[in-house]
């Protein structure tokens, strides 16, 4: 497998104070790129199929908007398919893109498994497949051209290390998992477990999927808070901000203080997460940048030009844990 190339060579993560750096962290991870010519050099208008998971979170919506905006800017004919969270809809969409003879396919795979057959059809049709934000487990990694996304294990590790420090090495954690079988859920859990393994005083006492949505995150947290041992909950680790924001509502409704009685750490760094940090209800968010449009089209252009691409391009993570200024919140692009 070819090497992993970080977009921005950052060792570990930067813990930024928003009041000092403003939106630097966002610019650092946005990773600009040269705008590829709309026709990929062949003279005709590029046609690219994009199979998107759905609109489960603010992060997902921001990713969709980033891809659509870049397509419009480049004059690419983007065939957009919303899978409503269902893998079978993504497989159908990819099959349709192959039948239409699109120039390239972008895929944000809802779960890791079950892609070999349809990706083989794209490969046989010589259509490059650019994976966005989530990876796949396939028998042969030549079935896709490249993956552009974050290092979810690192994000989980950063969240775990931050929480272990915040709790002074001792506390009971409840975990809201992302979509079962998805790369972010599997890997953010793994990274977090790796981090807290070094601090035996920290343990996860409950773990359940909130499906990356606010509604489900709130519902599951309500159930956690109704359990007999709810008084022993010291912290929440949510695999994304949307679930954390839903859980924060449940914590308040149960008469407890999010951010103080129950420490809250999550991932994504959406604008509402910074509003929650400013309100003292969320303690830390690990950025996972969704603005992948420019890199996605650059990769498609490079693939169509016959260039060899790295198997994975890692979008760097940034840890935010201090109260942001209003300017910083306003300047956030998502
Ligand atoms: C991460 C992405 C995850 C986000 C969630 O790359 O796949 O899915 O963390 C989104 O907000 O639903």
pLDDT in tens, 172-223: 999 999 999 999 999 999 999 999 999 999 999 999 999 999 999 999 999 9
- What is the pLDDT of the chain when averaged over all its residues? 91
Can you tell me the mean pLDDT for 137-141?
Answer: 98
CA of 290, closest atom in ligand 1: 6
* 260, 284, 242, 113: CA torsion to nearest 10: -130
φ, ψ dihedrals at 61, nearest 5° = -65, -40
133 pLDDT more than 60: yes
pLDDT in tens, 35-55: 345 555 557 899 999 999 999
For the Cβ of 187 lying below 6 angstroms from any atom of ligand 1, the answer is no
Provide the 3-class DSSP secondary structure of residue 129.
strand
Q: Are 155 and 85 in contact (CB under 8 A)?
A: no
Pairing type for strands 171-177 and 202-209 reads: parallel
- Which protein residue's CA is at the shortest distance from atom 8 of ligand 1? 60
61 CA from centroid of ligand 1 (Å): 10
51 CA from centroid of ligand 1 (Å): 15
89 CA from centroid of ligand 1 (Å): 18
Task: Order across the sheet with 312-315: list the strands.
Answer: 4-6, 312-315, 146-150, 129-132, 104-107, 47-52, 77-82
- pLDDT score, position 42: 56
For the Cβ of 184 lying below 6 angstroms from any atom of ligand 1, the answer is yes
Mutation probe of ligand 1 site: the residue of 268, 289, 314, 334 with most atoms within 8 A of C-beta:
268
321 CA from centroid of ligand 1 (Å): 20
43 CA from centroid of ligand 1 (Å): 35
Window from 41-50, 130-139, 200-209, 295-304 with minimum mean pLDDT: 41-50
Can you tell me the mean pLDDT for 78-88?
Answer: 98
28 pLDDT more than 60: no
Q: How confident is the model at residue 87 (pLDDT cuts 50, 70, 90)?
A: very high
Mutation probe of ligand 1 site: the residue of 51, 56, 59 with most atoms within 8 A of C-beta:
59
Please tell me the distance from the alpha carbon of residue 27 to that of residue 36, in angstroms, as a whole number.
20
- pLDDT score, position 6: 45
Any idea what the Cα angle at residue 131 is, between residues 76 and 80, rounded to 5°?
40
Q: Are 138 and 119 in contact (CB under 8 A)?
A: yes
pLDDT in tens, 150-168: 999 999 999 999 999 999 9
- pLDDT score, position 82: 98
DSSP 285-310: EEE-----HHHHHHHHHHHHTT----
Q: Are 17 and 319 in contact (CB under 8 A)?
A: no
Please tell me the distance from the alpha carbon of residue 220 to that of residue 216, in angstroms, as a whole number.
6
240 CA from centroid of ligand 1 (Å): 7
Q: How confident is the model at residue 317 (pLDDT cuts 50, 70, 90)?
A: confident
CA of 188, closest atom in ligand 1: 9
228 CA from centroid of ligand 1 (Å): 31
**Residue 117: other Cβ atoms inside 10 A:** 10
- pLDDT score, position 39: 52
Question: Which residues partner with 51 through β-bridges?
Answer: 81, 107
- Which protein residue's CA is at the shortest distance from atom 6 of ligand 1? 133
* pTM score of the predicted model: 0.89
Can you tell me the mean pLDDT for 314-328?
Answer: 96
For the Cβ of 288 lying below 6 angstroms from any atom of ligand 1, the answer is yes
Q: What is the Cβ-side half-sphere exposure of residue 30, based on CA atoms within 13 angstroms?
A: 12
Residue with tokens 């090495």: 169
- pLDDT score, position 20: 34
140 CA from centroid of ligand 1 (Å): 25
- pLDDT score, position 15: 54
């Amino acid at each position: 497998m070819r090497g992993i190339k970080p977009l921005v060579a950052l060792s570990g993560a930067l813990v930024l104070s928003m009041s000092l750096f403003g939106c630097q962290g966002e610019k650092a991870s946005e990773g600009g790129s040269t705008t590829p010519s709309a026709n990929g050099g062949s003279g005709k208008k590029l046609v690219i199929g994009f199979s998107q998971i759905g609109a489960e979170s603010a992060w997902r919506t921001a990713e969709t908007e980033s891809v659509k905006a870049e397509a419009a800017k480049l004059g690419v004919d983007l065939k957009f398919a919303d899978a409503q969270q269902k893998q079978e809809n993504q497989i159908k969409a990819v099959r349709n893109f192959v039948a239409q003879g699109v120039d390239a396919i972008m895929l944000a795979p809802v779960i890791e498994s079950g892609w070999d057959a349809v990706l083989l059809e794209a490969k046989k049709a010589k259509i490059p497949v650019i994976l966005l934000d989530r990876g796949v487990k396939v028998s042969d990694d030549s079935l896709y051209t490249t993956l552009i996304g974050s290092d979810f294990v690192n994000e989980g590790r950063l969240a775990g290390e931050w929480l272990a420090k915040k709790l002074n090495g001792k506390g009971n954690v409840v975990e809201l998992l992302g979509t079962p079988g998805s790369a972010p859920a599997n890997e953010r859990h793994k990274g977090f477990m790796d981090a807290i393994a070094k601090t035996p005083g920290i343990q996860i006492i409950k773990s359940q999927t909130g499906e990356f949505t606010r509604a489900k995150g709130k519902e599951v947290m309500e159930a956690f808070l109704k359990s007999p041992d709810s008084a022993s909950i010291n912290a929440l680790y949510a695999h994304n901000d949307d679930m954390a924001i839903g859980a924060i509502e449940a914590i308040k409704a149960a008469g407890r203080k999010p951010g103080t009685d129950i420490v809250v750490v999550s991932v994504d760094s959406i604008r509402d997460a910074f509003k929650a940090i400013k309100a003292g209800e969320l303690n830390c968010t690990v950025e996972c940048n969704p603005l992948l449009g420019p890199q996605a089209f650059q990769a498609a252009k490079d693939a169509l030009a016959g260039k060899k691409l790295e198997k994975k391009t890692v979008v760097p993570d940034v840890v935010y844990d201090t109260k942001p200024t209003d300017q910083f919140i306003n300047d956030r692009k998502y």
